[in-house]
């Protein structure tokens, strides 16, 4: 009887725990502002195609920004290879800023450099 009861309690708690997970999880772009943002700066750290997202760092308005790109394979497919854009080059990134205003991070849809545009998220405007 005692065991049956404790089994039921754990089952209910487990179910409750599992059901709250989707409510907590925010996917993809929800952690970023809806507002479109464009930032021009110089490359501090070139493109890295390491997972889970490709990244680069740029110096803009006197501050270093984390530029989050698409996942590695998709960024690579957009033509944005490692070492292509040299450190110090001027680039413009277009995307959405992190909702946390203390974080200098921009989740990026496209990067423009030297007259070329790399659409890492071509299906987003």
- Residues in contact with another protein by CB under 8 A are 2-4, 6-7, 10, 14, 17, 21, 24-27, 31, 48-52, 71-73, 75-76
8 vs 38 by CB, closer to another protein: 8
Q: Would you call 96 exposed, middle or buried from its count of C-beta atoms within 10 A (0-12, 13-18, 19+)? A: buried
User: Checking phi first, is residue 8 left (phi over 0); if not, alpha (psi -120 to 50) or beta?
Assistant: alpha
Instruction: Work out how close the CB of 94 gets to another protein at its nearest, in angstroms, rounded to a whole number.
Output: 22
The answer to whether the Cα torsion of 70, 72, 78, 79 is positive or negative is positive
The secondary structure of the chain in percent helix, strand, coil, rounded to multiples of 5, reads 25, 40, 40
Instruction: Work out how close the CB of 4 gets to another protein at its nearest, in angstroms, rounded to a whole number.
Output: 6
Under a CB-based contact definition with an 8 Å cutoff, are residues 61 and 41 in contact? Answer: yes
Instruction: Work out how close the CB of 38 gets to another protein at its nearest, in angstroms, rounded to a whole number.
Output: 25
Task: Answer whether the bond into residue 52 is a cis peptide, omega within 30°.
Answer: yes
74 vs 92 by CB, closer to another protein: 74
25 vs 101 by CB, closer to another protein: 25
Instruction: Work out how close the CB of 73 gets to another protein at its nearest, in angstroms, rounded to a whole number.
Output: 4
90 vs 98 by CB, closer to another protein: 98
């Amino acid at each position: 009887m005692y065991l049956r009861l404790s089994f039921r309690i754990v089952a209910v708690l487990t179910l409750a725990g599992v059901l709250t997970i989707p409510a907590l999880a925010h996917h993809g772009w929800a952690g970023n502002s809806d507002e479109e943002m464009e930032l021009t700066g110089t490359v501090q750290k070139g493109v890295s195609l390491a997972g889970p997202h490709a990244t680069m760092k740029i110096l803009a308005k006197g501050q270093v920004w984390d530029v989050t790109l698409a996942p590695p394979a998709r960024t690579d497919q957009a033509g944005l290879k490692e070492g292509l854009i040299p450190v110090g080059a001027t680039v413009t990134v277009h995307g959405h800023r992190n909702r946390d205003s203390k974080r200098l991070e921009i989740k990026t849809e496209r990067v423009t450099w030297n007259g070329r545009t790399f659409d890492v998220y071509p299906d987003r405007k």
